[in-house]
Amino acid sequence: MLLVKDDILTDEGELAVKALHEENLHEFRRHYLEHHPYDQARLFILLSAKEREMLYQYLSPGEMAEIFENIEEEEHPYETYLAEMNPSFAADMFAEMYTDDAVDVLNELDKAQAASYLSLMNKKAASEIRELLHYEESTAGSIMTTEFITISAQQNVGAAMEILKAEAPDAETIYYIYVTDGDKKLAGVVSLRDLIISSDHTLISDIMNERVYSVSVADDQEDVARRMRDYNFLALPVVDFQQHILGIITVDDIVDVIDEEASEDYSRLAAVPDVDTADRGPFSAAKKRLPWLIILLFLGMLTASLIGRFEATLEQVAILAVFIPLIAGMAGNTGTQALAVAVRRIALGDTTEEKKSKILLKEAGTGLITGTICGIVVTITVFIWHGQIFLGLLVGISIFATLTVATVAGAFIPLLMHKFNIDPAVASGPFITTINDIISVLIYFGMATMFMQYLL
């Protein structure tokens, strides 16, 4: 039975909290610790500060470490809980966490605060954490863990199994055991199954797979996630430029990366850089959003000034103003659709010149088809509505040209940004929409001015 369901305590959760209030150590641990650490974390964040202070007295740093690894910082800031703990207890908790998880938490803290916790830890744990803290954020080095097992290619299976039994309790995963040569370089990989079914006297070099995939410590975490997805790996070794194995990246880390990158791309597509920080105040949120809004404001003023240049055209045929929102809106919509497709294809790794050309050709074809159909529909509708065939043709042809150009622009801009190593998600929906507003105004009023004689 769950401790919490839909952010509400279940009967089991109520029993755990009741035991906590009654200071019944045995009953609390029985109701609380028999559940998965994720469920424990869900109950933990629902407790009051006073209740959590009692909980810290009833749990060991190792038990608390498992809970802390299941707390999402975006929803519940780490600083809140760490401030409630005794500093030595918190430091011991970090030492008990998997190294990569401890690094994730410490990276969210002030540098002075992180240094304080490191100074309180045992030297071995602190050294391992410091080593990972030096790697640049969002790289393979920053998300790898150093709790892994290596064996020598010259050992036999019996000796390897002894090492495995001794080191498995501290390893994050044992499904893959990595093999090193005499120079401690990555030479191969052996699965747990291969070890179990082989005789004790079999040499590791005879059963290992030499075609081992690895990633560089400086590789971007998105590239690592793509590699693990494509090959269905449970873990990937991380190596330096000399092929020495430094750590491993496990599938649970990659799930977090995929979630983080997807959230980040969604934020940028919406021009909202703080979509995951709902706890921030209005001033902090406004500060992050204002730069984009100011840029879009000036682009909008450019659109307005362009319309002003066609004032004479509007004075002669005032009805043209009725269709400005229609044409601009259609351009923005189709451009955003093309943008979403292009960013998605880039995220999937379709970044070769040939594939980029295919994306552009496909979107151009889509723009031509949708533009033609929408143009015909609008032409007929305007003719029936206003009884003016030339006005209908003007709006219809403008829709056709606008949708075609906007679709190509929506796909081309993110592809161009990617070529120059700029995150294509920065080509956000509002940005593409505003750019296409400008394009649509130029096309619409340019054509209206050219064919004014047929509209009067």
Task: Name the strand (E) or helix (H) holding 245.
Answer: strand 245-250
Residue 270 lies in a domain: no
- Decide: 295 and 430 in contact? Cβ < 8 Å: no
- Are residues 337 and 385 located together in one domain of the fold? yes
- Tokens 């100011």 locate to 294
**Higher local confidence (pLDDT), 13 or 314:** 13
Domain edge (last residue) among 93, 108, 136: 136
With a cut of 90, say whether residue 271 has pLDDT above it: no
Which H or E run contains 73?
Answer: none
**Domain match, 126 and 188 both:** no
- Model confidence over 226-253: pLDDT tens digits? 888 888 888 999 999 899 999 999 988 8
Indicate if 154 and 132 belong to the same structural domain: no
Check residue 332 and give its pLDDT.
Answer: 83
Q: What is the DSSP letter of 145?
A: B
What's the predicted TM-score (pTM) here?
A: 0.62
For the stretch 373-389, pLDDT in tens is: 999 999 999 889 888 88
Query: Would residue 268 count as lying in a domain?
Result: no
| CATH code at position 203 | 3.10.580.10
Question: pLDDT tens, 146-163?
Answer: 889 999 999 999 999 999
What is the average per-residue pLDDT within 33-55?
92
Residues 444 and 296 in one domain: yes
The CATH number that applies at residue 12 is: 1.25.60.10
Closest to 418 in 3D by CA, of 356, 373, 363: 356
Task: Answer yes or no: do 302 and 351 share one domain.
Answer: yes
Q: pLDDT value at position 274?
A: 53
On whether residue 263 sits in a domain, the answer given is no
60 plus 115 within the same structural domain:
yes
Please list the helix, strand and coil fractions of the chain in percent, rounded to the nearest 5, in that order: 70, 10, 25
Helix/strand/coil for 391: helix
Q: Is residue 63 part of a domain?
A: yes
Q: How many domains is the chain built from? A: 3
174 and 245 belong to one structural domain: yes
Q: Which residues form the domain of 322?
A: 282-455
Indicate the length of the chain as a whole number: 456
Place of tokens 């032409």: 379
Residue 269 lies in a domain: no
Residues 119, 68, single domain; the answer is: yes
Instruction: Give CA–CA dist 121/109, Å, rounded.
Output: 16
Please give the share of the chain, as a percent, with pLDDT higher than 70: 90
| Distance (Å) of CA 412 to CA 167, 300, 306, 434, 451 | 52, 21, 23, 15, 30
**pLDDT tens sequence across 386-408:** 888 888 899 999 999 999 998 99
Confidence band, pLDDT 50/70/90 cuts, at residue 268: low
Residues 130 and 161 in one domain: no
Label residue 456 by pLDDT band (50, 70, 90).
low
Q: What is the DSSP secondary-structure string of 98-121? A: -HHHHHHHHHTS-HHHHHHHHHHS
For β-strands 176-180 and 150-152, DSSP reports them as parallel
Write down which residue in 66, 101, 136 finishes a domain: 136
